[in-house]
């Protein structure tokens, strides 16, 4: 059954493939026939943010591939691997509605067979921010994305900018390993009240959902301060911290202002400065970000 409130429109003829070998063979054949392939890697439970990536992928390529895989290697001990929301049927309906050609939904045992021992690790960018509080997370991300690139052979891959650090890490990996894939970062899609769309939003109670708006509120306050002439990162961070701490369910993991490419913290704000937040609302860890000089 699809989830309440999720789109169920479907018209596109789409194939669902579970086998790694079959998926790779189909994509190699498509490349040999001169077809341009776009890949949108996801962990499923699709929302409008994912669909925006798929629509752009459809525009950029002849063959649109969506991967749905809750990747066990990017979850740490005690994280929500087992409870992460899953809805293959609902996801397939939404994928058809935006013109996905191939939906790749492999099993963990096929992606990581017995004896699996090879991982991709990007240094530097992965030890800060989410990497500091989730050791090993980005090793899992880069490994699975590299595997997906090898299996699907895409010309272009699209990722949401909500996972800003992930996007930076994948760009670095792709550059360093000379992978022939164009990486496209897409804007954050927000709910009408400003909350960044996330599959984990489904964990929030009604009151927690209200308190979660502190993240987007804090970003708006920070951008207003910068637009008004504030150039000190310390001052802006204090404004952000005060707003989030107004919520009883909020526990700050990190609030930092970093350079967009290096992810190193800055003291003076310029057009490459990004505000990045990770905040637990109750038991749910939410992330959000924005360039501070970016207009709404």
Angle at which helix 213-227 crosses helix 233-244, to 10 degrees, equals: 150
Q: Is 47 considered catalytic here?
A: no
CB 3 within 8 A of CB 90: yes
- Return the exposure string of 135-163: e unless at least 16 CB atoms fall within 10 Å of the residue's CB, then b: ebbbbbbbbbbbbbbebbbbbbbbbbbbb
Other beta carbons less than 10 A from residue 121's beta carbon? 11
- Residue in 50, 137, 155, 259 annotated catalytic: 50
The residues assigned a catalytic role are 50
């Amino acid at each position: 059954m699809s989830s309440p409130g999720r789109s169920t429109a479907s018209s596109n003829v789409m194939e669902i493939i579970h086998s790694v070998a079959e998926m790779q063979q189909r994509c190699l054949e498509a490349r040999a026939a001169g077809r341009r392939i776009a890949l949108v890697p996801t962990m499923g439970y699709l929302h409008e943010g994912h669909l925006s990536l798929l629509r752009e992928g459809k525009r950029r390529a002849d063959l649109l591939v969506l991967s749905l895989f809750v990747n066990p290697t990017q979850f740490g001990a005690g994280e929500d691997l087992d409870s992460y929301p899953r809805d293959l049927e609902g996801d397939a309906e939404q994928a058809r509605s935006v013109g996905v050609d191939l939906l790749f939904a492999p099993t963990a045992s096929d992606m990581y067979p017995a004896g699996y021992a090879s991982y991709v690790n990007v240094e530097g960018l992965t030890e800060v921010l989410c990497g500091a509080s989730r050791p090993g997370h980005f090793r899992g991300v880069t490994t699975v994305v590299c595997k997906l690139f090898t299996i699907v052979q895409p010309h272009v891959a699209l990722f949401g900018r909500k996972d800003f650090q992930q996007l930076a890490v994948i760009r670095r990996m792709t550059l360093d390993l000379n992978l022939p894939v164009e990486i496209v970062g897409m804007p954050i899609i927000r709910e009408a009240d400003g909350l960044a769309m996330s599959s984990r939003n489904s964990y929030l109670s009604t009151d927690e959902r209200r308190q979660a708006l502190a993240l987007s509120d804090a970003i708006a306050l920070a951008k207003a301060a910068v637009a008004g002439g504030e150039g000190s990162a310390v001052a802006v961070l204090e404004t952000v911290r005060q707003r989030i701490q107004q919520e009883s369910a909020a526990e700050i993991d990190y609030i930092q202002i970093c350079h967009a490419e290096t992810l190193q913290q800055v003291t003076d704000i310029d057009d490459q400065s990004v505000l990045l937040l990770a905040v637990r609302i109750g038991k749910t860890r939410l992330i959000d970000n924005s360039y501070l000089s970016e207009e709404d």
